């Protein structure tokens, strides 16, 4: 399936349209194309077609080939196993201060992913009420280098959460943290607008300036792995495909 001139000219563009993986064109894609702006229909549809069909593992492999880094933050794990991607809105706060979470929800743009650096995981800075508010505000997901709570609600909520721990207790509504400023976690420098991808396996952070190269490489990884699956289905073994036999 390909994008036609009619698709691009149509004022009622079908944002649910998808391109077959082998036909995806990422030549002009940038991190800004994660959101449809009215003029980037072709780039947006091609990018969504890729992201819906790849994994954190494949993006990590692509990033490693380009930057010799994995892009992962090992201590952050999926809470409710939902796949999500988007541009990062960084936040830094204390575990005593869940008020900064409320401010971040109001300040971030629709489609952003809130990414919190918290000084400790002893208290939760996020839970059911924050998730509900964020979802209503159009935030795509929340990632916390720290603790969440209310797992009884979060596990069944259609709102992606990633965190490094969970506890039942919380701090106060102080609102003393910093919003949309660069943060650094486990040697990973995270800037506003950097790319986030998370799924059941874990999370990947890609600097926005490398986004296009990594996406093109990730598509190549996807196509290569699909070809390997086909060969396995034809009776070859993984050792044979890898040239070990």
Question: Taking 70 as the threshold, does the pLDDT of residue 38 lie above it?
Answer: yes
- From 77, 123, 131, 122, select the one nearest 104 (Cα to Cα): 131
Q: Are residues 107 and 19 in the same domain?
A: no
Same domain, 48 and 162: no
User: What pLDDT, in 10s, does the model give residues 41-54?
Assistant: 999 999 999 999 99
Name the token pair of 17: 């349209």
Question: Binning pLDDT at 50, 70 and 90, where does residue 165 land?
Answer: very high
- In this prediction, residue 13 carries a pLDDT of 74
pLDDT > 90? residue 9: no
* 122/44 same-domain check: no
Q: Residue 12 burial by CB count (10 A; 0-12/13-18/19+): exposed, middle or buried? A: exposed
Residue 42 gets which letter from DSSP?
H
Strands (E), 37-187: 77-78, 84-93, 113-118, 141-148, 161-166, 178-179, 183-185
Helix axes 211-233, 41-51, angle to 10 degrees: 50
Statement to judge: residues 174 and 225 lie in one domain:
yes
pTM score: 0.92
Q: Which two tokens stand for residue 190?
A: 């995270």
Tell whether 45 and 62 lie within a shared domain: no
Query: Under a CB-based contact definition with an 8 Å cutoff, are residues 59 and 207 in contact?
Result: no
Residues 98 and 194 in one domain: yes
Domain count, the chain: 2
Burial bucket for residue 84 (CB in 10 Å: 0-12, 13-18, 19+): buried
**Is residue 100 located within the same domain as residue 28?**
no
Q: Is 186 left (phi over 0), alpha (psi -120 to 50) or beta?
A: left
Range of the domain at 82: 56-245
* Predicted pLDDT of residue 5: 66
**171, 108, 118: which is closest to 141 by C-alpha?**
108
| % of residues, the chain, pLDDT over 70 | 95
**pLDDT, mean of residues 173-184:** 97
The pLDDT score that the predictor gives to residue 245 is: 85
pLDDT beyond 60 at 12: no
Beta-bridge partner residues of 161:
142
Q: Is the pLDDT of residue 6 over 70?
A: no
Same domain membership, residue 97 and residue 7: no
pLDDT tens, position by position, 71-94: 999 999 999 999 999 999 999 999
Are 198 and 131 found together in one domain? yes
How would residue 224 be classed by pLDDT, with cut points 50, 70 and 90? very high
Instruction: Supply the CATH number for residue 145's domain.
Output: 3.50.30.40
Q: What is the mean pLDDT of the chain?
A: 94
Cα 123 from Cα 146, distance rounded (Å): 8
Q: Which of 12-21, 54-63, 220-229 has the lowest mean pLDDT?
A: 12-21
Q: Note whether 49 and 142 are same-domain residues.
A: no
Beta bridge partners of residue 124, listed in sequence order:
147, 170
Q: Are residues 75 and 23 in the same domain?
A: no
Query: Which of 128, 129, 104 is CA-nearest to residue 116?
Result: 104
- CA proximity to 50, closest of 226, 230, 244: 226
């Amino acid at each position: 399936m390909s994008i036609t001139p009619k698709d691009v000219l149509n004022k009622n563009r079908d944002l649910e349209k998808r391109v077959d993986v082998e036909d995806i064109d990422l030549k002009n894609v940038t991190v800004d194309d994660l959101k449809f702006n009215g003029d980037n229909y072709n780039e947006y549809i091609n990018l969504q077609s890729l992201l819906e069909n790849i994994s954190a593992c494949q993006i990590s492999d692509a990033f490693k080939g380009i930057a010799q880094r994995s892009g992962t933050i090992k201590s952050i794990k999926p809470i409710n196993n939902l796949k999500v991607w988007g541009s990062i809105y960084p936040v830094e706060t204390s575990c005593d201060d869940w008020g900064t979470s409320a401010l971040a929800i109001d300040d971030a743009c629709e489609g952003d992913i809130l990414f919190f650096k918290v000084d400790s995981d002893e208290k939760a800075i996020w839970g059911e009420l924050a998730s509900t508010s964020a979802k209503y505000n159009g935030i795509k997901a929340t990632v916390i280098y720290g603790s969440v709570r209310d797992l009884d609600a979060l596990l069944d909520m259609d709102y992606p959460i990633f965190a490094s721990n969970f506890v039942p207790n919380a701090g106060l509504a102080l609102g003393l943290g910093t919003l949309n400023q660069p943060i650094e976690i486990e040697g990973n420098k995270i800037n506003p607008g950097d790319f986030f991808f998370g799924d059941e396996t874990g999370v990947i952070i890609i600097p926005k300036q490398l986004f296009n190269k990594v996406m093109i490489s990730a598509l190549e990884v996807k196509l290569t792995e699909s070809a390997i699956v086909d060969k396995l289905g034809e009776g070859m073994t993984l050792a044979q495909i890898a040239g070990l036999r």
